């Protein structure tokens, strides 16, 4: 069976280079006679892998020296709790401002409600999250401990074109579905977090990038494992880290560096997304669901113009048979969604568009 083009929202495709290296090193990593899965996390070989992973992501994202890079577990969903547990008490009233751009923002605020008094400052729910609300500095509570945004909304396919000006308030970003896909100035953020299973590596490792002055404000009730400070002090080795996902992430970072880094990747991502959006804008059968200005480069939801569920399910079925898998849309949007993360080749998108044109020819 040949490899297919996998348009899953995550876990998603990984670069073939990384998978091939992992396969070649599976039984014997670097003459250790063991696989990375079998190594002590305190061994020289593994510590070198972890250090390389950290220095590569630092280089790729140009992370300033006053930020810690943490490799954690529990996915972005654990970060929904870890963020307020560590940051909401920076202010005695335990206030925090969140922007509601979809399901993941709602899940994030729900956890914060357990530990403090967060509020939504803006929302795009009135139009089923098809845009990013306009934000200005005066909207934020000067007493808020932080402002939380979701830079890319995996389900609804929207993305911030520019970051909000939060003044002195730390900007906290869930970057799970677009980290490393486009350039961000890390110094604009207090904290960035992301689950790995889209643009970093396999599920199981979670990256947190935190400005050092934000460490040490955790609530007394914060479990040891959920205190950023503990992980920062122990260089992400307080307990056994997710060794194998971290190793694959290192291979993915090496691939991205070889390709030219984040800015080169962004150009490719713009080309890929452009191919699909151009087709959708000119199609008589399909259309995108998001306001143009806020379209994601990573997740592209689309529907049939007359919302014909029979045609949509026929499309998904035929696409799957032709080797374009996981195109079914999230239930809250319906229709289809093509997730085209970093590892999706340009060729995969070109072939999908050709397939869609052919389908349109038969069903338009
Ligand atoms: N935030 C965003 C933007 C996501 O896309 C996802 C997962 N798709 C999550 C959070 C939850 O991540 P996890 O499954 O790693 O907890």
As given in the structure block, the two tokens for residue 241 are 């880290």
Same domain for 170 and 139: yes
Same domain for 338 and 229: no
Question: Is 318 touching ligand 1 by the criterion CB < 6 Å?
Answer: no
First-residue to last-residue Cα distance in the chain: 31
In a domain, 114, yes or no: yes
Instruction: Give the 3-state secondary structure percentages of the chain, helix then strand then coil, rounded to 5.
Output: 40, 15, 40
Tens-place pLDDT, residues 227-239: 999 999 999 999 9
Of all protein residues, the one whose alpha carbon is nearest to atom 14 of ligand 1 is 75
Question: Is 199 touching ligand 1 by the criterion CB < 6 Å?
Answer: no
15 confidence band (pLDDT: 50, 70, 90): very high
Find the 301 Cα to ligand 1 centroid distance in Å.
Answer: 17
Same domain for 272 and 254: no
Same domain for 225 and 317: no
pLDDT of residue 2: 87
Catalytic residue annotation:
104, 174, 198
pTM of the model: 0.98
In a domain, 7, yes or no: no
Which are the contacts of 228, defined by CB distance < 8 A and separation ≥ 6? 68, 70, 82, 86, 208, 210, 214, 215, 218
Instruction: Identify whether the C-beta of residue 275 lies closer than 8 Å to the C-beta of residue 315.
Output: no
- Residue ending a domain, among 198, 231, 259, is 259
- Residue ending a domain, among 259, 274, 290, is 259
Tens-place pLDDT, residues 108-153: 999 999 999 999 999 999 999 999 999 999 999 999 999 999 999 9
Question: Is 299 touching ligand 1 by the criterion CB < 6 Å?
Answer: no
Task: Give the mean pLDDT of 262-280.
Answer: 98
Pocket test for ligand 1, best of 77, 98, 178, 180 (most atoms within 8 A of CB): 77
In a domain, 39, yes or no: yes
Same domain for 340 and 230: no
Measure the CA–CA gap between 176 and 75, rounded to whole angstroms: 9
Question: Is 182 touching ligand 1 by the criterion CB < 6 Å?
Answer: no
Same domain for 239 and 350: no
Question: Is 242 touching ligand 1 by the criterion CB < 6 Å?
Answer: no
The DSSP 8-state label assigned to residue 295 in this structure reads: B
Print the domain residue range for 309: 261-363
Same domain for 88 and 70: yes
Find the 126 Cα to ligand 1 centroid distance in Å.
Answer: 23
Using the structure block, give the residue that is written with the tokens 């999706």: 344
Same domain for 313 and 177: no
pLDDT of residue 1: 75
Tens-place pLDDT, residues 46-87: 999 999 999 999 999 999 999 999 999 999 999 999 999 999
As given in the structure block, the two tokens for residue 200 are 């970093």
Find the 29 Cα to ligand 1 centroid distance in Å.
Answer: 31
CA quadruple 90, 206, 133, 127: dihedral sign: negative
State the closest ligand 1 atom to the C-alpha of 77, by its place in the atom list counted from 1: 16
Residue count (the chain): 364
Of all protein residues, the one whose alpha carbon is nearest to atom 2 of ligand 1 is 176
In a domain, 164, yes or no: yes
- Residue ending a domain, among 237, 259, 281, is 259
């Amino acid at each position: 069976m040949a490899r297919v083009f996998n348009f899953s929202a995550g876990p998603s495709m990984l670069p073939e280079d990384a998978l091939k290296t992992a396969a070649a090193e599976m039984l014997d990593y670097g003459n250790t006679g063991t696989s990375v899965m079998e190594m002590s996390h305190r061994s020289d070989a593994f510590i070198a892998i972890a250090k390389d992973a950290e220095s590569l992501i630092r280089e790729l994202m140009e992370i300033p020296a006053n930020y810690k890079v943490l490799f954690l577990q529990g996915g972005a969903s654990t970060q929904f709790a870890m963020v307020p547990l560590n940051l909401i008490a920076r202010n005695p009233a335990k206030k925090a401002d969140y922007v509601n751009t979809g399901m993941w923002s709602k899940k994030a605020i729900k956890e914060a409600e357990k530990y403090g008094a967060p509020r939504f400052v803006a929302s795009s729910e009135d139009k089923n999250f098809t845009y990013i609300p306009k934000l200005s500095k005066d909207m934020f509570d000067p007493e808020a401990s932080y402002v939380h945004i979701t830079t890319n909304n995996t389900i609804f396919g929207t993305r911030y074109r520019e970051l909000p000006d939060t003044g002195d308030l730390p900007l906290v970003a869930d970057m799970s579905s677009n980290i490393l896909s486009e350039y961000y100035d890390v110094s604009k953020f207090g904290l960035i977090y992301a689950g790995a299973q889209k643009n970093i590596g396999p599920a199981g490792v979670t990256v947190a990038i935190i400005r050092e002055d934000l460490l040490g404000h955790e609530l007394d009730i914060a479990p040891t494992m959920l205190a950023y400070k503990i992980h920062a002090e122990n260089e992400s080795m307080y307990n056994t880290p997710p060794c194998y996902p971290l190793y694959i992430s290192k291979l993915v970072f090496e691939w991205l560096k070889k390709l030219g880094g984040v800015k080169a990747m962004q150009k490719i991502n713009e080309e890929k997304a452009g191919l699909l959006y151009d087709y959708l804008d000119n199609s008589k059968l399909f259309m995108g669901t998001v306001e143009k200005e806020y379209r994601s480069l990573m997740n592209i939801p689309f529907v049939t113009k007359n919302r014909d569920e029979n045609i949509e399910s026929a499309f998904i079925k035929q696409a799957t048979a032709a080797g374009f898998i996981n195109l079914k849309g999230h239930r809250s949007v319906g229709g289809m969604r093509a997730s085209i993360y970093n590892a999706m080749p340009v060729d995969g998108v070109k072939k999908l568009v050709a397939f869609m044109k052919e389908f349109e020819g038969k069903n338009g």
